[in-house]
Structure 1
């Protein structure tokens, strides 16, 4: 980071009155001097459950954040928490302590209505379209990634994405990854704040006019892919090559989604260790598809001594978080 840019500390208040210690997060908008500085690289993660009092207890999410911080030591990593209240408080935890030791990880809260004022997606939040949605957590994340990428630019990553290389190694801006011939997933997105914004604005307009509140996948990858197909005048995406349309580049499938959505079990099954590790060896990012676990398909807890590909990826790319695992990751 430039020596001329003042960086905010992570926490504005500490309370020692009760145990455990509670930390009050600062507003993301306090960092405008960093966020609007085009010479500073930024990576964003968004947690969208809205609770005012939280505790970092998910090692898989923490793993994603550590891997990004570790691979990008000169990049500002923003682990953000959406809220409808005036503040977010984090209870102290081992995972919070681990991530806080990385100088480039910033914990901030987001007030979506305030942050979106004056933007093309403001109505999505002020008209409270999410009140209609049974999938408000996922749909809030879909909208907020558009907002952050349009307002500040940079890299967006889902909290189940492990970084295997730095964004400098990718050496591109304005990109997403092809999941299949029909889908460019929005779990990994990169946008320049000055170029490629037309695509984001079109996606935002579709989210406002075609929002389907009770369809889990309709407003994320499916909608982004429909918009991109129209934008690029195509009906399918090329899975094995880099494809440019306007300012946007679609990366080959193996760069982010080498293990496909229907194959997610291979991350957990030790019998597929060699195959899985071989397939992700040229990847920039690995999307773990943790939503499948959350959906209750099976119990995909991993023991700390697991020989699975997911456990190995964690040992290599988020070793500090993985060391906190007692029984299950």
Structure 2
């Protein structure tokens, strides 16, 4: 009887030990697997801080600290950007996958706390799959602080200005670029290949610049001179006076803008200025060509990006899936995530 009891106790001990051993192994495997996933996630996003509240470093100064970011602006009040804006951001996030892409939008102006800023990404969830995209509320006084534009902004009455949204956009892009450097792009520019040059401006047409795309290092003298001219020669009644016309007249103070004889960069000091083919191969009067069908799509081999002239699009033409238009082709190739969501 005693032997049977000893055997029973031994068997119960072995079963208990085996169960505990299995639990330890399974837990160890689970933790190893979890650690592996965590390492994979960290490795994939190691250059870009998360914007979901896990870090206090998600602010423009930190994200754009290296001076090589891509900056987009929305100075209207749209909380949900149209597909062309999202396509522009996605295309930049793909082309400049190793750089931060910052979208400053007035549509999030009600956000004030750091937690609000951290959760801004979720306001446009379709962009959350791109770890290098950051969304920030556009705070005008903060943007203009420590620049010549602050005193102008504090005294001008925007409600009386015919082109106020455009004027504010012209000012913000200069101030943000002065502070952070990098590349500014309009939200109707689809990126197709990276720009290797750090300091550049681009012609829209012969001897006439456009401020829809430009790149400068932080604290560049051109940006400062442009802001000073913006204030000194301010005229809100003329469309583009603080935009393309401003860039053209400021550059002319430093260099003679000669006509291009070939598709190659010209140089003014430490600034390159690009041929119109680089961003404006389809000129403003022909903007509808983006929404037409083509027998053979152009290659745009001489372009870094394509400006779709949304300002001209008073008919509110959009990309229609299945239309076989040039703009559909561009969406499919350069912003496939947005294309599938339309």
TM-score interval (norm. to shorter): 0.7 to 0.9
1:9 aligns with 2:38: no
Q: Which structure's residues are more often helix, by fraction?
A: 2
- The answer for the alignment partner of 2:188 in structure 1 is 160
* Residue of structure 2 equivalent to 1:171: 196
For 2:320, the equivalent position in structure 1 comes to: 303
Structure 1 residue 56 and structure 2 residue 83: aligned? no
* C-alpha distance in 1 between matches for 2:283 and 2:274: 15
User: Which of 211, 233, 236 pairs up with 1:186?
Assistant: 211
Please give the alpha-carbon distance, in whole angstroms, between the structure 2 residues aligned to 1:229 and 1:203. 12
More moved, 174-183 vs 157-166: 174-183
Q: Following the alignment from structure 2 to structure 1, what is the Cα–Cα distance between the partners of residues 47 and 340?
A: 34
Gaps of 5+ in 1: 13-25
- Matching residue of 2:179: 151
Distance 2:189 2:317 in 1: 17
| d(CA) in 1 for partners of 2:192, 2:198 | 17
Cα deviation code 1:82-113 (max 9, x no counterpart) = 37955278999999222111111101012121
Whole-angstrom CA distance in 1 between matches of 2:57 and 2:237: 30
Q: Which protein has the larger Cα radius of gyration, Structure 1 or Structure 2?
A: 2
Spell out the pairing of 1:1-329 with structure 2 (5 A cutoff): 7=49, 9-10=51-52, 30-38=59-67, 41-49=68-76, 51=77, 54-82=78-106, 87=111, 96-128=124-156, 130-166=158-194, 170-193=195-218, 197-234=220-257, 240-270=263-293, 272=294, 274=296, 277-278=298-299, 280-293=300-313, 296=314, 298-325=315-342
Give the Cα separation in 1 of the matches to 2:242 and 2:197. 26
Q: Name structure 2 gaps, 5 residues minimum.
A: 1-41
TM-score between both structures, scaled by the size of structure 2: 0.77
C-alpha change, 1:273 and 1:263, in structure 2 (3 Å) is farther
Provide, for residues 29-62 of structure 1, a one-character-per-residue CA deviation record: whole Å limited to 9, x for no partner. Answer: x342332335xx310000001x3xx532400100
Aligned length: 295
Tell me by how many angstroms 1:300 deviates: 2.0
Q: Which moved more, 1:222-231 or 1:152-161?
A: 222-231
Quote the offset at 1:241 in angstroms.
Answer: 2.4
SS at match of 1:55: coil
Q: Residue 231 of structure 1: CA displacement?
A: 2.0
